Amino acid sequence: MEKADKARRTAMDYQLLDAGDGRKLERFGRYTLARPCSQAMWRPTLPPEEWARAHASFDREDGNRWHGRGNLPKEWEIETAGIKFKLGGTDFGHLGIFPEQRAQWQWIRETVRAAPTPPKVLNLFAYSGGSTMAAALGGAEVCHLDASKGMVEWARANAALNNLAAHPIRWIVDDAHKFMRREIRRGRNYDAIILDPPSFGRGANGEMYKIERDLKDTLALVKELLSPKPLFVLFSSHTPGLTQLVAENIFHQLFPGAKIETGEMTLDGPTLRCPSGIYCRVIAESRK
């Protein structure tokens, strides 16, 4: 029974199969897809016929375009890093998950679970809720914020998949800066804050966000919202040019003396690792 259950989980999981020539070949449960990956500047490992077996592919060579999208169901489920996700192809080539965050989800869950008291966690720019699920599964009370109503609804569906429908999660559709300023005025604070801001995005009412212009203001609000003895801040980014060193410089200035860990987020395949952004963890002193 245990062996069969492990085989089922493996079949439902994510796997990077190959990458190269600006593309990546991935398996999401039962379905294999080929999609762009600008950092894959090397040659693919698998032969072209393996790539041709993908159920569907997506490219941006002449606008955003799917090939074989009809081979995919409208929705399907996978389970990875102990979290269940509803997936579906979007017009921008996304599926409702960024699997390079799996190591962060595991770290969030373990860190929250090890906290002496259940922390209050704010997840900003929260997308389909991978970090929200990780924090909630670890026992945290979570506030999930995204500017897209559709993505918040998607995240709520993921919460239901993970038996978290009744868990204390606040679901907020709003501009991140406006929400944080209101929370500060209300005197609310959070023990941990997670954020993955976009390079460019728009708020719930059309507010424009540019990371190179707005990140300093975002982080100033984050710092002001932290409780007196916070657990952590977890920042991640897919923005080209925002390197580990840049993140270290930003966070050492903002949190002098704090323990800071940085690294690359990667997709790990059988024979290669594909870089997919960076993370920075600001770990405060013990809350005990």
Query: What is the number of structural domains in the chain?
Result: 2
Q: Please indicate, yes or no, if residue 182 is contained in any of the structural domains.
A: yes
Residues 44 and 176 in one domain: no
Query: What is the 3 state secondary structure string of 213-277?
Result: HHHHHHHHHHHHHECCCCCEEEEEECCCCCCHHHHHHHHHHHCCCCEEEEEEEEEECCCCEEEEE
Residues 185 and 275 in one domain: yes
Reading the chain (288 residues) residue by residue, the pLDDT tens digits are 555 555 555 678 999 999 999 999 999 999 999 999 999 999 999 999 999 999 999 998 877 899 999 999 999 999 999 999 999 999 889 999 999 999 999 999 999 999 999 999 999 999 999 999 999 999 999 999 999 999 999 999 999 999 999 999 999 999 999 999 999 999 999 999 999 998 877 766 677 778 888 899 999 999 999 999 999 999 999 998 899 999 999 999 999 999 999 999 999 998 899 999 999 999 976 544
Q: Is the pTM of this model over 0.85?
A: yes
Q: Same domain, yes or no, for 69 and 120?
A: no
CATH number at 116 reads 3.40.50.150
**Within-domain flag for 91:** no
31-36 vs 56-59, strand pairing mode:
parallel
Q: Is residue 93 part of a domain?
A: no
272 domain residue, yes or no: yes
Whether 36 and 110 map to the same domain: the answer is: no
The residue range of the domain holding 17 is 2-80
Structure tokens at 207: 């507010």
